[in-house]
A and B are shown apart, each in its own frame.
Chain A
Amino acid sequence: MSGAIILAMRLLLAFALYGFLGWALWTLWRDIQKQGAALANRRIPGIHLTIRHGQNTPFQKKFNQPEITLGRDPGCDIPLTDDTVSTRHAQLTYHHNQWWLEDLSSTNGTLLNQITITMPTVLTAGDEIQCGDTRLIINLSTNTLVSPTQRLEKRT
């Protein structure tokens, strides 16, 4: 008799152990889902670039992604046919609600408003970037970040 009661408790014990693990993994999975949904809802303000190389006609490009690379490599988001530009020259990234400019160890360096940058630098509208002989004028969209309203969590 004692054996049967204890057997039931041993099974309950296994249930408790896997209850802990199951609950942990379930909340983890839910966390990932929520995070994914939050990221999917994140809007990135568009960025307009006016690109001019030497005497060529300037052209405009608009982007809605958080990372923009520019360089001579055709795989770059802004491919440049300029011999003074490195293969992967510089990168524009959006984080902390800002657009940042970062030099990717290019040969001739990246200039922002005539000043060589050594670290990621925040961009504002009207800034001028110079990579080799190419110049880019920044024009930021006016629409700001809009994310869906979330229900307040009860803090216990």
Chain B
Amino acid sequence: MHDKTQSLLLRWAAFFLFIQSTILTLSPAVRERTWDVDYRFAHWAGLLVWAVLMTAAHRATIKYLPERDPYLLPSAALLSGWGMLTIWRLDEEFGIRQSIWLGVCIIIFILALYAQQKIILFLRRYKYILLSGGLLITALTLLFGTNPLGIGPRLWLGCCGVYFQPSEPLKLLLVIYLSAYLADHVNIHLSSLPLLVPTLVVTGLALLLLLVQHDLGTASIFVSIFTIAIFLYTGKRRVLLSAALFLISTLIIGYFWVAIIHIRVDGWINPWADPSGKSYQIVQSLLAVANGGIIGRGIGIGSPLLVPVAISDFIFAAIAEEAGLIGTLGLLTLIWLILARGLTASLRAPDRFRRNLAAGIVTYLGSQSILIIGGNLRLLPLTGVTLPFVSYGGSSLLTSFAALFLLLSISNVEDNEPAPIENSTPYALLAGILSTGLMALALTSAWWAIVRAPDLLNRTDNPRRSIIDRYVPRGELLDRNNQPINITEGESGNYERAYLYPDLASVTGYTHIVYGQAGAEAALDDYLRGLQGNPPSLVWLDHLLYGTPPPGLDVRLSLSLALQSKADQLLGGHTGAIILINAETGEILVMASHPTYDPNRLSEEGAALAQNQSAPLMNRATQGLYPIGTTMLPLIRAKFGESQPTDAELNLYYQKLGLFQEPALNLPVAYDTTNKTVEKLKVSPLQLALAAALLSHDGIIPAPRFATAVNTPEQGWVVLSTKGKPIEILPPEMANTAAQSFIKPGKSYWNHVGQASLEDNITTWLLAGTLPDWKGAPLGLVVTLEENNTFLANYIGDTLLNAALNQ
């Protein structure tokens, strides 16, 4: 019966791992959305090792432990196989190492089964030697300790490429020592010296060692093991209470005195304060859990490598991203099953030593799992311990399998008469505590994966967006004649943004893996990324199947590249902005801002650009704010004629012209939020271009348009609506009269040059536009120069308007 159950469960585990491996093999095809990819096969070697050795282990347990618990081995086999495949997926080199370690562990496990009766007696007899040996070896790390990664706490002893972390088996040695000591000394009262002195001294020594090493995770597991052992022995709840108080007070003292605790606690309480620095790990872990959602992305299809040390400390986050909430709930249930069966074995144990030992192992496995998963999920402060059976690491895996071996041999009782128990309540309470802990982890997983996921994934520091951009083509930005401006080049897996017209950089912006997005690329991101404009069902389906949005949509801008290049030529090395606008439709034909930069070279120059004094990243046409001075004359003349308006009248008029408001344009824009008076007001070239357009179009301010249409797969080019509406400011006659009075001699347009100065900086403005009787499309023009240069302003205006009118 037992053998049949164990064999069937092992087959389920093998089935699970087989499907997992198949998905991993095919995953590159899903990522790149083509069958023509390099498939992944290496991990099948690991699965083969698992299958062969687990079959051998199964046979050996049948032979040597006929009455063992049939649930422990399959659960541990599933967990260790799952962990190994996850490590293969993350890093093939570590996959090989983990497969070798797993093989070594199972072989040692099988060899131990031969001598299992003797081992238990040996452990009980030589408890002091074992623990002192463990402490001594751990102490050696203080002198000879290294870290395989080169940085971080030096907790390993290493030689010839093999590293060993003595604090891992030390946990098990402490469990053995406490179990044996408490089994040898029956009926001692709590607070009596024989109980507390030897156990406290030994545990304290171990704690001290770990504190010196800054191995805080292991130290807290030691405290839990000691506390639960004493609690189970005495049955006094005040043991638990004082241990909890001890841990909390240590945490508070450590917060003020120990740098690493300070960092960890800060990152726990408020990770959002420093998401790219001290709490980078935890934020990335939560993003991974959120990206997993309910069903997960599928192994090999998510981006768990973004989480630091995903193979060991953060393997739970990696599993959560690719297996989803369904997977993590299954994982937690597996851990629960091992703990529950372990406690059952403890209660059925024929003697006190075995009972204590099983309960201690359950405490060790349970507290370590809860500690690290809780750390991954921000339920507990982060501590660097491994997830038993799952995480990468030879020492951790070896300790986990030693624990499994002990639990299995303790569960192997033929006589159905367990040792008597004085008080069973502590055992029930321990089961309750561990189950509550796992339940809390399940609820927290669901919280991040479902409730908080949308907010988390939309964070700009979610690197998955940039990674997706490499696999899904981003829509193109086109000019009004469908000439490409920003396009996507390359093949799936290597898509890159190319900027064909770099002079437009400060207007159309960029999308970059490090520097994020700017300009139109940021404003139109939802279309370019395919999240908007595609049918919602397609967006949903692509997310389900591939974890990405559908291919992006092309967006047509109102810009005319022919005129734009003329404007950029004219502005040249001068600092300033030009806007040419269709006064009737509000379409922006030219938007130039200088100095500019080359977005194709952003990776090399990005950091320097952000520091650059002349602010090339800013779009001066929409975000530059300049004093207006005498520039408003044509507009004032249109409203008030020759009379002098009061400040209040002028203020009201400017308000109607929209100079105090944010222009309704789907681009990053700025307006003066501090100065509310007419003399001090600063405006952007865009604001002024919109206001001046009324002189060329019957007193009406048009609603500005920049992105005009989007190319949807179902309906072709769809016109995008404007954010604002045209506003009638003046009767047509008044506007026309004013325009006529500023007519440029010999030309078919009006213009006006104004200047303003602020703190020795002179701004030169040119306002111009077509005349009311112009038969073609009415145009409005604004030139802004950050220098005293009326000649250049006039020259730009004449040349550009001539070009535009003679098109």
Contact = CB atoms under 8 A, between A and B. Distances in A.
B15 to A, nearest CB: 5
A9 B22 contact: yes
A20 interface: yes
Given A6-B26, A24-B337, A95-B417, A14 B327 contact: yes
B3 interface: yes
Per DSSP, are chain A's interface residues mostly helix, strand or loop, or mixed? helix
Per DSSP, are chain B's interface residues mostly helix, strand or loop, or mixed? helix
A6 B301 contact: yes
B327 A21 contact: no
Contacts of B29: 2, 6
Given A14-B326, A17-B16, A2 B23 contact: no
Contact of A7 (B16, B333, B545): B545
A21 B23 contact: no
A19 B326 CA distance: 13
A21 B337 contact: yes
Nearest to A95: B417
Interface string A15-44: 011111101100110000000000000000
B9 A23 contact: yes
A80 B326 CA distance: 61
A21 B301 contact: no
B75 A6 contact: no
A83 interface: no
Contacts of A95: 417
B33 interface: yes
B434 interface: no
Contacts of A27: 5, 70
Contacts of A11: 295
B33 A24 contact: no
B19 A9 contact: yes
A153 B1 contact: yes
Contacts of B330: 14, 17-18, 21
A61 interface: no
Contacts of B70: 27
Interface string B109-134: 00000000000000000000000000
Contacts of B334: 20-21
A117 interface: no
A5 interface: yes
Given A23-B9, A24-B9, A24-B337, A10 B23 contact: yes
Given A6-B27, A24-B74, A19 B12 contact: yes
A55 B35 CA distance: 100
A94 B34 CA distance: 72
A23 to B, nearest CB: 6
A7 to B, nearest CB: 6
Given A6-B26, A10-B298, A16 B16 contact: yes
B750 interface: no
Nearest to A19: B12
B3 A13 contact: no
Nearest to A4: B545
Which size bracket describes the interface of A in this complex? 20 to 34
B78 interface: yes
A2 B26 contact: yes
Contacts of A19: 12, 15-16
A155 B3 contact: yes
A125 interface: no
B23 A13 contact: yes
B543 to A, nearest CB: 10
A6 B298 contact: yes
A149 interface: no
Interface in B10-27: 12-13, 15-16, 19-20, 22-23, 26-27
Contacts of A143: none
Nearest to B37: A2
A138 to B, nearest CB: 22
B268 interface: no
A23 B302 CA distance: 29
B20 A20 contact: no
A5 B298 CA distance: 11
Contacts of A156: 3-4, 7
A122 interface: no
Contacts of B296: 10
A56 B9 CA distance: 65
Contacts of B5: 27
Contacts of A3: 30, 33, 542, 544-546
A21 B333 CA distance: 8
Interface of B: 1, 3-5, 7-9, 12-13, 15-16, 19-20, 22-23, 26-27, 29-30, 33-35, 70-71, 74-75, 78, 295-296, 298, 301, 323, 326-327, 330, 333-334, 337, 417, 542, 544-546
Q: 8 tightest A-B contacts by CB?
A: A3-B545, A16-B16, A20-B12, A17-B330, A2-B29, A13-B19, A14-B326, A16-B15
Given A21-B333, A153-B1, 7 more contacts: A2-B29, A2-B33, A3-B30, A3-B544, A14-B330, A16-B19, A156-B4
10 contacts: A2-B29, A12-B19, A16-B15, A16-B16, A17-B16, A17-B326, A18-B330, A21-B333, A21-B337, A27-B5
